[in-house]
Structure 1
């Protein structure tokens, strides 16, 4: 077995043993050096590559977006968003579940995290949908688990920062490109939701009572208190798209904006809480930093083995055209997403798959966006869908039963991904 085979074997064995993914990557990167004294790299080369993997100004955007998302998550923003969307769609068929999906879209743009969106929105929405309005608890849990996965697609997303860090592509372009595809997937999820509600029926009396309760609060009051939260993604993306700020600068602005509205507008956060937010962002960022270090070293060693060229030649010989290549990638990423989190999978696979996509004439931003969309489905696919584990205790169900109920939502998500894959316009129209 050659160096490439040993690298993959060590990586697989480390994962089976339950070692952290970062450790598995670094250990496998050292294999060719240990096997051959004449290999074109040494241990210092690996160390330099690891340092180079995080020696980037743009990576500062990652902990800053995490920090702002954490502040907003604890600021009670989800309720304010849900009320305004429930007021808009609440009287229509499937309107309240649809409002939950839209809330996940907007809150995902704030948090950038699927599990965080699932927890924050679910804690508030599920009691309303299940207890107050009488919707089936498994349906609501499946809906929430799937919609929360949109958090890594709707910008600003941490996944976009990490995947661009290892491929060298533009973070700003990828963020802007993610707006329409994220909304498109949301529309597909809403379509199934409305169909389900129309065919299964709803408790019209309870829905009308809930709508009247919202109107009693006051349309103007609900709209006014939701505006600061809704302006968050508009401010960040507008600044990037308008060329006013870079993604890193936008991340810094997002922190100050999150602090301002949480401290002085909503008053749900106190100054004494800020050190806790800072420590939380550091704890979250630390393992990602090590992962990025290992991924850069792995990519460079993998290139020195000649594996990318051999892989490219093999793929071209067996895959006749771009359509077949796209189907192959979607299926592969869907399966990988069942067992590996979106972030690590992007970091490991993007440097390998992107050169292949370019051989078939694909736009780099389109392909990276497609990767994120495919792997985001993993948040709700058994056996290790993270959002399933977050939502299941909220409704008193098992993650397995919730995963089965989520199958139609997964199918709707996959259909949207196919549209994005074969109609590049959805991904490139805003950056062309």
Structure 2
């Protein structure tokens, strides 16, 4: 266990120093070699590094590119106009249009940052112009942005599943259940709050809705149908087993590019290429971290952690999967205030999960959902960083409004963790 202590101290120093995690994982994997562990050699380390699920890396890359193409191609606006055509004439329903758009756009982009930026930029000015509570609905939209990391085709579930070894199709089905439940909870909160709104400009609401109606249902339908078909094609092909996740991801890139260039004409092929190049800056570091984390997970048995886990499980309290899920939620929630610790937590807790026969798809989903709502926690929550400047308020003030939503979403995820049957029916 001496090596375990050395490894723990080393990783703590890496985190405190703010060094990239790819450096931390890679260096940690070399420590046994430097300490003279007999079973270690450079050939083994190289094999471990390339032993990761390459299909997962490919699917992540494609979905990130597709999400960026959808964002740059202004797809969210078409989705919003579709929902607003039917629901935009009621004061309680207009915010619901934004939440439905966020959930649906999450099925298109697979990115929380893309959802937050697109929905916030488009919908917050609409809501504030009509008279909705700016700070409250900034918090709602920030919370809705997290759905992009939970609702498939989320790249977070792909990367987490790549480390846990979970079946991606089944994980996506479970993520869909939790994601839609969280979206429904935000809709209920919005409906309740709308009853308190007293300063709304109903004349403006009705005037804007009349303009939509003047365009006609057929015009709205034909303009939005291509955007609305995207999640049906992507998720339908995955859930039905027609395509694997990486095949569906490749199709989503082609589909996104074609409708942006030829249908909506919001991008040119030159701009598509620029989006792809920009996406590489996100893809390359992420895949490097995953490769090094995979190597790190192979190095962990040298620490004696497997024997420690076996001893821990002699206490039957820790042999229940629900305890593992609760510990995962607590650790991920606490570390989420400072960093995305999933890549560290998974290799350490995986022996525990395997020892007690945990449903890896459920565990991956719980980890994905809990890590996703960390976007709402300061000081590094991207959801707060994106939405606070849009509303012209401080991150601290926004977090006061966001915190109840974060608690609610954490509570919902905890309920699913304690009673997995609430989501495993989808399998």
List aligned pairs for 1:190-205, cutoff 5 A: 190-201=187-198, 203=200, 205=202
Q: How many residues are aligned here?
A: 425
Aligned partner of 1:228 among 215, 226, 237? 226
C-alpha distance after superposition, 1:345-391 (max 9, x if no partner):
33332333344345455422111111101111101112211111011
* Cα shift at 1:275: 2.0
The aligned residue for residue 330 of structure 1 is 329
List aligned pairs for 1:145-224, cutoff 5 A: 145-201=142-198, 203=200, 205=202, 206-224=204-222
Whether the aligned pair in 1 keeps the contact of 2:161 and 2:167 (CA below 8 Å) is: yes
1:320/1:169 CA distance change after superposition, 3 Å: closer
List aligned pairs for 1:38-57, cutoff 5 A: 38-53=37-52, 56-57=54-55
SS in structure 2 of the partner of residue 47 of structure 1: helix
C-alpha distance after superposition, 1:279-335 (max 9, x if no partner):
122221110121012101110111222213313532663647444443332122111
The aligned residue for residue 394 of structure 1 is 390
The aligned residue for residue 15 of structure 1 is 15
The aligned residue for residue 382 of structure 1 is 378
1:176/1:323 CA distance change after superposition, 3 Å: closer
Q: d(CA) in 2 for partners of 1:322 and 1:71?
A: 39
Whether the aligned pair in 2 keeps the contact of 1:68 and 1:254 (CA below 8 Å) is: yes
What RMSD in Å do the two structures reach over aligned CA positions?
2.1
Whether the aligned pair in 2 keeps the contact of 1:181 and 1:426 (CA below 8 Å) is: no
The aligned residue for residue 271 of structure 2 is 273
SS in structure 1 of the partner of residue 50 of structure 2: helix
TM-score (norm 2): 0.93
1:357/1:97 CA distance change after superposition, 3 Å: farther
Aligned partner of 2:98 among 78, 97, 100? 100
Task: Structure 2: give runs of 5+ residues left out of the alignment.
Answer: none
Q: d(CA) in 2 for partners of 1:316 and 1:391?
A: 48
1:169/1:327 CA distance change after superposition, 3 Å: closer
Q: d(CA) in 1 for partners of 2:28 and 2:360?
A: 27
* Cα shift at 1:258: 0.7
The aligned residue for residue 312 of structure 2 is 314
C-alpha distance after superposition, 1:392-421 (max 9, x if no partner):
111111112111110121122123212321
Q: d(CA) in 2 for partners of 1:266 and 1:53?
A: 38
* Cα shift at 1:50: 1.4
Task: Structure 1: give runs of 5+ residues left out of the alignment.
Answer: none
Q: d(CA) in 2 for partners of 1:323 and 1:274?
A: 45
Whether the aligned pair in 2 keeps the contact of 1:308 and 1:352 (CA below 8 Å) is: no
SS in structure 2 of the partner of residue 382 of structure 1: coil
TM-score (norm 1): 0.92
* Cα shift at 1:156: 0.8
